[in-house]
Chain A
Amino acid sequence: LAKTTQPISMDSYEGQEVNITCSHNNIATNDYITWYQQFPSQGPRFIIQGYKTKVTNEVASLFIPADRKSSTLSLPRVSLSDTAVYYCLVGDITAAGNKLTFGGGTRVLVKP
């Protein structure tokens, strides 16, 4: 399973864009990149998933360069409620029993 490295914490302010970069140098050909968000006292919540280039949904965008050795989660115009831990995960989602391997995550604090 590919190991991921992401910043331990980030601070931001309401209305700003937050970009969290995750490194995954040994990503395999079949691996996808998935991001989860976790609030205190709750289970992780799926945000976005991608394989290459750019993926966008109503919550976030995911940018993946051609070499796929890193990825950037972009949260537009954050609010106080976006304060959470964000996890970057890499794995072969096409495989049976694909188990997600979580790292320490990035603690994002949004200030007023």
Chain B
Amino acid sequence: GAGVSQSPRYKVAKRGQDVALRCDPISGHVSLFWYQQALGQGPEFLTYFQNEAQLDKSGLPSDRFFAERPEGSVSTLKIQRTQQEDSAVYLCASSLSYGSSGNTIYFGEGSWLTVV
């Protein structure tokens, strides 16, 4: 597709449920990022992939959060045993590469997670 695509767009989960959020980056983009955005706040970095390699997961808030990108394209962010504090918008972003060219980072529309 033309942009970063995320699904589901909206998800309501009961506390304790596991959720999986999918990201389809722009075709050919090497770098993929996940961000978490709480209401009224700026996005906060969660994790980064370069192709299939997860090079930075310093922002993942707990071991309940897990991300993968097994074939270097589609990525899934999984949250186990969801808690109310996990309620947020989860943004996926991608960029063609790193370096002075092709490094603009493009964001998807986000997956809105509400834990009840």
Chain A positions within 8 Å of B, measured between CB atoms, are: 36, 41-46, 49, 87, 93-105
Contact = CB atoms under 8 A, between A and B. Distances in A.
Given A43-B93, A44-B107, A93-B103, A99 B56 contact: yes
A93 to B, nearest CB: 5
Contacts of A105: 42
B44 A97 contact: no
B43 interface: yes
A46 B105 contact: yes
12 contacts: A43-B91, A46-B104, A87-B42, A94-B98, A96-B31, A96-B50, A97-B56, A97-B98, A99-B33, A99-B45, A100-B43, A102-B44
B98 A93 contact: yes
Given A94-B99, A95-B98, A100 B45 contact: yes
Sorting the interface of chain B by its residue count into under 10, 10 to 19, 20 to 34 or 35 or more gives 20 to 34
Nearest to B103: A93
A96 to B, nearest CB: 5
Contacts of B105: 46, 98, 100
B92 to A, nearest CB: 8
Contacts of B25: none
3 tightest A-B CB contacts, nearest first: A102-B42, A43-B107, A97-B48
